[in-house]
Structures are given as structure tokens and as C-alpha cells.
Amino acid sequence: MLTPDQIENLNEWIKEAYGSPKELTKQLDNLVFMLLFLEEEVFTKREVQSAAELLKGFGVVLGWECLST
């Protein structure tokens, strides 16, 4: 669980770095898309899919619009 200070810091970081939660969501969505197309020689397909699901879950848990599937 995030503390009130962590939430405040996270909100400030999002605003400073991305301008809005919606813009950060777009960036996370792009990252998930890119992770799905990494070369298998670097990571196994399952490792990459797990990383993408982690990032997608991060957005959902923080209450942003659901990242596209």
C-alpha cells in the first residue's frame, strides 16, 4: 500500500514528467507494445509477457484507464 507521501510524490512525478496520468498511460501502453515484440534471444517470450503484464497491472492498480490489450 502506498503511503500518503508516496502518493503525493507519485502524483507530482506524473505531472512533472508526463503532464497527466492519461499521458503516462499512453507511454506505458507504448512500452507494453514494444515489450511484446522484443527479440527472443534476449529474453524468453514468457519473461517479456510477464513484464508487460506487470506494467499493465501497475496502471490498473493506480486507477488509470485500462491499458489497451
pLDDT at 15 over 80: yes
Cα four-point dihedral sign 36, 54, 27, 43: negative
> Band of the pLDDT at 13, cuts 50, 70, 90?
confident
More confident residue, 63 or 15: 15
pLDDT of residue 65: 56
pLDDT of residue 60: 67
Question: For residue range 18-53, what is the model confidence (pLDDT) as tens digits?
Answer: 899 898 888 888 788 877 777 767 778 787 787 777
More confident residue, 1 or 21: 21
